[in-house]
Chains A and B, each alone.
Chain A
Amino acid sequence: MSLVSIRDVRKSFGPLEVLKGVSLEVAKGDVVAIIGRSGSGKSTLLRCINGLETFQSGAILADGLAVGSVHTNLRELRRHVGMVFQQFNLFPHLTAAENVMLAPTVVNNVSKKEARDTAAEVLTKVGLSEKMDAYPSQLSGGQQQRVAIARSLAMRPKVLLCDEITSALDPELVNEVLRVVEQLAKEGMTLILVTHEMRFARDVGTNLVFMHHGKVHEQGPPKEVFAAPKTPELQQFVSGIG
């Protein structure tokens, strides 16, 4: 059974239809890379999965919970669906460890001590064990993004949504973040990534989704799709990137 199941989702911002009937199945352990031009609806789709955006029709099931209705238990949903953003969005008034500890202590009522142990564990995992007490302003972009990943991991999510998480980084900082994501993929974490890193999508992804004009235009195993794109739009997109 799919961990995340998206069926014919439609979403408009006013008169502009951004998602025109998107369907997608994500199984446990999948690493889904969503690519496409800006404005093709990639980020909107991702934000619909954890209820940051509402949609007008269709259905999304995430870990068995129906998303998008007024009755959706968003708290329960978001405990299991983590999200990492392009702009990191760390809490600037809290240290790295406090950023990571906040949700476990507040949402899951974990004790401070236990939360700090978890923080140490996940920050070590992203290679920042020595930065526990640093404030976000004292960290580089790549380090901040790794703290953001650790912050999501501390909630032990079943799915991690990554919204162009390397797009705001200086080129030399991209790899340190991608390495962390790759490690997560190896450990079996289910990931849905909106990305512009084609090489990463090809090498790490288990499923590539090309979105075009608010629809899933083409999808399949990344290596096959990249080697032989079927649709002219994807051919053009892939060649355009070079």
Chain B
Amino acid sequence: MSDFSVWIIVKNLLWATQWTIILSLIAFVGGGIVGLILLFARTSQIKPLEIVTKCYIEFFQGTPLLMQLFLFFFGVALFGIEVSPWMSASLALTLWTSAFLTEIWRGCVESIPKGQWEASSSLALTYIEQMRYVIIPQAARIAVAPTVGFSVQVIKGTALASIIGFIELTKAGTMLNNATFRPFLVYSLVALIYFCLCFPLSFLAKRLEGRLNVAR
């Protein structure tokens, strides 16, 4: 009897895990795209653009992710626009991810020696061309490890989406706990699944870090 319900719990948690993974992927890919655009603005040396992106980044880095989720979920509803938990979670996590990725990548871009900018400037390349052909190909190498490392934060961040009613791993855990009254078992399993998702990524990040350092 007991074994049977453990199996039911596991099965349901695994089902919910797919939504954690999908939400993480959306946030990470979406955040990567938005982050790349912001990166160009942030390092453009065009003052207004830099200030706007800096404010954006400060906002998303300086406020709790949970509050951002509330803003997107409840705040947008105030304007009479109906948003699903699914929609607001994707949007909030995407923007949150983009802010952090932009900052990580900015650091990588700024670590490229000034001479690379000067040489490419002297060859008449425009800023966008310099970024595309000279700076980003080099910065990307450095960025791989911290970017993969940050993806762990994104996965863990998706847990907060449970609070606005999005059914992912954490929300499923809460629901199963309410049904079974076995919090220790349920949340241990939830934690284990998160760990299985995150550990390979942190391990990979460590490995990449070591390898790229040697190559330098």
Contact = CB atoms under 8 A, between A and B. Distances in A.
Which A-B residue pairs are the 6 nearest by beta carbons? A89-B119, A89-B115, A103-B123, A78-B124, A83-B122, A107-B124
Contacts of A103: 123-125
B7 to A, nearest CB: 52
A102 B115 contact: no
Contacts of A5: none
B129 A85 contact: no
A190 to B, nearest CB: 16
B121 A107 contact: no
A240 B78 CA distance: 79
Nearest to B119: A89
Interface of A: 50, 52, 74-79, 81-83, 85, 87, 89-93, 102-103, 106-107, 148, 151-152, 155
B119 A91 contact: yes
12 contacts: A74-B121, A75-B124, A75-B126, A78-B124, A82-B123, A85-B119, A87-B115, A89-B113, A89-B115, A91-B119, A92-B138, A152-B122
Nearest to B140: A93
B134 interface: yes
B15 interface: no
Given A87-B115, A102-B133, A93 B138 contact: yes
A107 B134 CA distance: 13
Interface in B134-178: 134, 137-138, 141
Interface of B: 113, 115-116, 118-126, 129, 133-134, 137-138, 141
B129 A82 contact: no
B121 A78 contact: yes
A209 B138 CA distance: 39
B110 to A, nearest CB: 17
Nearest to A98: B133
Nearest to A80: B124
Given A85-B115, A89-B115, A91-B134, A79 B121 contact: no
User: Which of A52, A85, A92 lies at the interface centre, i.e. has the most chain B CB atoms within 10 A of its CB?
Assistant: A92
Contacts of B138: 91-93
A76 B118 CA distance: 16
A82 B115 contact: no
Nearest to A47: B118
A76 B126 CA distance: 11
A82 B46 CA distance: 25
Given A77-B124, A92-B138, A103-B124, 10 more contacts: A78-B123, A83-B119, A85-B115, A85-B118, A89-B119, A91-B134, A93-B137, A93-B141, A103-B123, A152-B123
- The residue among B113, B116, B123, B141 with the most chain A CB atoms within 10 A of its own CB is B123
Contact of A50 (B113, B122, B126): B122
A91 B138 CA distance: 9
B123 A155 contact: yes
A81 B133 CA distance: 21
A73 to B, nearest CB: 10
Contacts of A87: 115
A87 B113 CA distance: 11
